[in-house]
Amino acid sequence: MSQKQSSIRPLVFQGDLSEEITKEYEKDDHLAVDCEMMGLNPRRDRLCVIQICDSKNKASLVQILPGQTQAPNIQLLFEKKSIIKIFHFGRMDLTFLKARLGISVNPVFCTKIASKLARTYTDKHGLKELVKEFFDESMDKGKQSSDWGKKILSKEQLEYAAGDVKYLIALKHILTEMLVREGRLEYADKCYGFLGTLVDMDLLELKDIFEH
Ligand code: MN
């Protein structure tokens, strides 16, 4: 793990962000967001952790408790029109946030969609690959599949979780420049605009409507 990656220590909260940090995040126009779950099925699996990082690299980690159905401070930020929420593969996170906490995240930017539209010279669109290409840093994805539902997360899990939101705002700026240069920004914007509907359809299991 590089020096830089281990330097972000997130503030840890249970259930929701504090009023104090919510007020601070509210002033920003960008928030990087990532979620960790027990698995990939939004009906079966619990949403365990939400990580948030602002433009000043202030990272927070919120542990979502078993049975929890609301997080008002997170909801306020995630539905606030003046703040762009940046995800990597937002489709999955948005589905869990909707299914588990009733949050309709908006507006959204997804670095995976942006990468697929801009970086047609490769088929590698993982966060790890983007971080390698643009920042020449190696991300350790070793803790991706670990028990995010446990009460006390390990130091390694906290660092991993914070690392996942660390690069997203910078990536948004880089990928937006590429999208503008390649004349594809409009496609990206329209895809983000459709994400909320896609998430609702995912929850209804209306899959692959564009397929043959
Ligand atoms: Mn993650």
In a domain, 211, yes or no: no
| Angstrom distance (rounded) from CA 153 to CA 140 | 17
In a domain, 42, yes or no: yes
Ligand 1 centroid–CA 62 distance in Å is 13
In a domain, 81, yes or no: yes
Q: Is the pLDDT of residue 112 over 70?
A: yes
In a domain, 148, yes or no: yes
Given the structure tokens 């929420």, which residue do they identify?
85
Ligand 1 centroid–CA 181 distance in Å is 29
Average predicted confidence (pLDDT) for the chain? 94
Ligand 1 centroid–CA 212 distance in Å is 32
Please give the backbone phi and psi of residue 203, each rounded to the nearest 5 degrees, phi first. -70, -25
Q: What total of structural domains would you count in the chain?
A: 1
In a domain, 85, yes or no: yes
Ligand 1 centroid–CA 201 distance in Å is 23
Closest CA to 153 of 55, 64, 75, 28: 64
Ligand 1 centroid–CA 153 distance in Å is 14
Asked if residue 50 lies in contact with residue 32, where contact means CB atoms within 8 angstroms, the answer is no
Handedness of CA 135, 110, 158, 166 (dihedral sign): positive
Q: Locate 115 and state its tokens.
A: 């990468």
Ligand 1 centroid–CA 20 distance in Å is 25
pLDDT in tens, 167-184: 999 999 999 999 999 999
Ligand 1 centroid–CA 17 distance in Å is 18
Q: Is the pLDDT of residue 161 over 70?
A: yes
- Domain holding 39, by residue range, is 9-203
Ligand 1 centroid–CA 172 distance in Å is 17
Ligand 1 centroid–CA 34 distance in Å is 5
Q: Sheet harboring 59-63: ordered strands across?
A: 11-14, 59-63, 47-54, 30-37, 84-87, 108-110
In a domain, 210, yes or no: no
The one-letter amino acid at 56: K
Binned at pLDDT 50, 70 and 90, residue 6 comes out as: very low
pTM for the full predicted model: 0.94
In a domain, 208, yes or no: no
pLDDT given for residue 3 in this prediction? 43
pLDDT given for residue 5 in this prediction? 46
Q: Locate 93 and state its tokens.
A: 């996170």
Given the structure tokens 């589905």, which residue do they identify?
95
Length of the chain equals 212
Ligand 1 centroid–CA 86 distance in Å is 13
Binned at pLDDT 50, 70 and 90, residue 8 comes out as: low
Q: Is the pLDDT of residue 140 over 70?
A: yes
Ligand 1 centroid–CA 81 distance in Å is 24
Give the CATH number for residue 139.
3.30.420.10
In a domain, 209, yes or no: no
Ligand 1 centroid–CA 95 distance in Å is 15
pLDDT given for residue 4 in this prediction? 47
Asked if residue 47 lies in contact with residue 101, where contact means CB atoms within 8 angstroms, the answer is yes
pLDDT given for residue 185 in this prediction? 97
pLDDT in tens, 47-98: 999 999 999 999 999 999 999 999 999 999 999 999 999 999 999 999 999 9
